[in-house]
Amino acid sequence: MTKKPLKILFLAAEAVPFAKVGGLADVAGSLPRAIRALGHDVRLMIPRYGTIRSDQFQMETIGGTLTIPLGPGEERVHLVGNSLDGGVPVYLIWDEHYFSSRDQVYGFEDDAQRFTVFGRGALVALQSLDWKPDVIHANDWHTGLVPTWLNTAGQDDPSYSDIATLFTIHNLTYQGIAGRLILTFAQMEYVKHLSVEQPGTVNWMAQGIAHADLVNTVSEQYAQEILTPEMGMGLAPLLQERKERLFGVVNGIDYEQWNPATDPNIPHRFDNETLDRRITNKTVLQQQARLPARPDAPLIGMVTRLGEVKGMDLMEPVLEWLLAQEREVQFVLLGTGAPQYHEMFERVQSRFPNRISTFLKFDDALARRIYAGADMFLMPSAVEPCGLGQMIAMRYGCVPVVRAIGGLADTVTDQRGRGTGFTFTEYTPKACQNALERALKAYDKKKAWRRMQQRGMAIDFSWSASAKKYVKLYRRAIEVHGA
């Protein structure tokens, strides 16, 4: 029997192409399109920030003024509409004070109030639409209020009581902690204090986890890791309580956007059957990086944010070992971040000027040339809920060398004869060096190396594969909610 199509409201603080700070925006811009392609009625809702200009995005006003109950009174907002490629309707909450007058997504002292307005506004906006979702898919702490309200006050309102919820944790580090007065502002004083919350505070990430019908993270491995005190960021006891309703779904990548056969930013396009063309991309990358144009020298690439969680504390001893070897090994880095890591890479480059090239900036075209031209892609992350770089690298025939954590463990296989990359477990320079040493030895066996590249390129990391798993979770959330 054919199952009926679902109606899904997808809530997020950011979404490509409207507003982007981190990986959440890529998910929110891609996953709804993939779900719609499966035949479901999915709609996206985000705040309308000041950076989302009407001369860039045509906005259509939907309905009249919306009145949100807040604090001692109310807040008046508007709902405007647009759409994603593929026909996904997009609703934007337009509030002049909290969103439209601000040129950034995050980083304000009143972020807790701002996303309270967004959450309450999303719930009120549903009343103005001639459409009701079967399930609301809320993402990260910014939307934690929504499953909390639906599972408390919303249960007494027939307009909302049958809406199921899925809450996705993209990164447990950011939890939306505010003073309990935020509940007065939200007119939600009835929300109970959770044991994992600090006295006098409310933690919107924790509340979302506690109240949603189902919870998921962006990889199966990360879903297991956050159950531990070491990785649970203070929320492990709560996650343990909910582990029967905790799942992992690996993010996808946009196969139209990331396609070495059509990518206009790489000098020579190629696919699984024409991998020989890749060597010319390597030569062009070496020239751009001002490294000796030696096709046989192993070239290792890195495209990353320069931060502790990305494994930067391992990099200086690893690079000292890697670049001091007798055989010529080359290294290209693209990324920005903490000043101490900028200084570290500059220090290493001054010692090995013909072996390492650092680009301390962000450059999308150069990132693509690194994926298309480097032989290996290094990701020594301390924490990695999902990770996209390793999937893009494999798509472009670049063999990943990664720490087996979070989504990296779920997507990279280190197995003789069947592997797609090289992994290490311990968070130490020595463990990283050992994985790189194995990769360098494997690189010399050209036929086996090519087969490894082709295996990586053949894996389906598309959003379509992830979307099918999310649809199963939506149906399960509806069952749980109705039980």
Which amino acid would we find at residue 477? A
- Provide the phi-psi class of 272: left if phi over 0, else alpha when psi is between -120 and 50, else beta: alpha
Taking 90 as the threshold, does the pLDDT of residue 56 lie above it? Answer: no
pLDDT at 110: 94
Calculate ∠ Cα 307-10-168, nearest 5°.
Answer: 45
Q: What sign for the dihedral angle of Cα 31, 368, 424, 238?
A: negative
**pLDDT the model gives residue 1:** 63
Q: Which two tokens stand for residue 279?
A: 């060597």
Mean pLDDT of all residues in the chain?
96
Mean pLDDT within 49-75 = 90
Angle, in degrees to the nearest 10, between helices 429-443 and 312-323: 50
- Give the max Cα distance, the chain: 72
CB 406 within 8 A of CB 416: no
Whether residue 189 has pLDDT greater than 70: yes
> Is residue 55 very low, low, confident or very high in pLDDT (cuts 50, 70, 90)?
confident
% of the chain exceeding 90 in pLDDT: 91
pLDDT digits (tens, 9 = 90+) for 223-271: 999 999 999 999 999 999 999 999 999 999 999 999 999 999 999 999 9
What is the pLDDT confidence band of residue 54, given thresholds at 50, 70 and 90?
A: confident
pLDDT band at 184 (very low <50, low <70, confident <90, very high): very high
pLDDT at 101 over 90: yes
Query: 308-331, pLDDT tens digit by residue?
Result: 999 999 999 999 999 999 999 999
- Return the sign of the alpha-carbon dihedral for residues 195, 119, 250, 375: negative
Give pairs for 176-183: CB < 8 Å, separation 24+: 176/111, 176/112, 176/115, 176/141, 176/142, 176/144, 176/203, 176/204, 176/205, 177/201, 177/202, 177/203, 177/204, 178/112, 178/202, 178/204, 182/112, 182/113, 182/116
Q: What digits encode the pLDDT tens for the residues 385-434?
A: 999 999 999 999 999 999 999 999 999 999 988 999 999 999 999 999 99
pLDDT of residue 229: 97
Domains of the chain by range and CATH? Answer: 7-252+464-482 (3.40.50.2000), 275-460 (3.40.50.2000)
